[in-house]
Structure 1
Amino acid sequence: MLDLFSDEAPWAEPLAEGAVILRRLVRDEGEALLKSVFAIAAQNPFHHRITPGGHRMSVAMTNCGDLGWSTDSRGYQYSEHDTATGHQWPPMPDSFRALATSAAAQAGFAGFNPDACLINRYEPGAKLTLHQDKDEKDLRQPIVSVSLGLPAVFQFGGFDRADATQRVLLEHGDVVVWGGPSRLRFHGIMPLKPGIHPLAGPYRYNITFRRAL
């Protein structure tokens, strides 16, 4: 596991019991990871989903893996096909699966094997309101979340939406892992500030690995 108190990159920054930021863990792999994101998006383009309440999400999303997460008028769901197009999700790259498994193990969650990978694209002003990841069947499995491109402020709260939140800056190459006693904590992303990243341009990309089934 990474040294929790090292000044050298990468290093681990605890958030709560069962939750940690692995700072700059994949910074050197950022270009290759983004190339894979763009290849996935070429097969299944980024799309602004509509929530069950009829609101257009400010975040555009695509997926890869055996299952993909989406939302529409019927609710939130995992499925083998994109409900918007009927097409099967692109396969998860081996490099993605290896990243997720390794990051989870470094955070104390050995044996993680994701079957779903949600990829979100943020443009300036886009945000993700406080929510829980609870559509997965086995809540003993952690969430592994990779930040690429522009920096963003991550909110990490408690087990009620009204609980106080920590606000921490996530930068290119940072990986957040949470599970165990922190698995159902509320979390979100503050509105993205404008900028240009040398690899991602005007966007932030977030790759989130889950075990859905």
Structure 2
Amino acid sequence: MKKFLSLFTVLVFSLVLVAPSFASAAQKLIQPINNAYITAGYLNANYQKKFGFKHYGWDLTSSNSSRAVWASGSGKVLATGYDNVLGNTVIVKYPAAYIHSTGATKDLVFRYNHLASIAVSKGQSVTKDTRLGNYGNTGLYSTGPHLHLEIDTDTTYYQYSPTLGSSSNIIKAGTASTVLSPKNVLYTKVSAPDNQSIYIIGDGYQSSSEDDLPFKN
């Protein structure tokens, strides 16, 4: 009996050693435009002064001719369509996403607005190699081609955004308490085939360190 218990103890201990930890199962989400400029930052004071409302996300453009918007990791498309205020919209849920600013792992929702075109459909599974569409200039508050990206920890009311004061047909008026800065979540994937880079424009609508994302190989 003692020998059996000893072998059982060794087996259990071995399983503990080889079992993956919760942290190892988390996914590190990467930026949605491979070669990106941040043209408007998260809760930027100059942006609020100019436009009269807070900016709960990032505005991104490409530093080259591509306008492709890619999924940031493994997830599922929750909604797509034309929003009367924010233009062509895609909403994706990313489970077990690692938030590098706090070390927490949470399910996250990304809202992508102002797209010129949509290349995915509701219910579709995506990876970081899935093209969600191209960014564009759709919606009432778009002043030029760009992607407006919001990240939210509220995966139940995923269509609710603090950007809107009153609800539209897809995006609804929400609160800011669950929204995160993209800087706290995103990684720059520097290895092939993505070869990502990210910079700020430097016109005062971004913080000086907002493009300082951790690298992911």
TM-score w.r.t. the length of structure 1 is 0.30
TM-score scaled by length of structure 2: 0.30
Higher Rg of the two aligned structures: 2
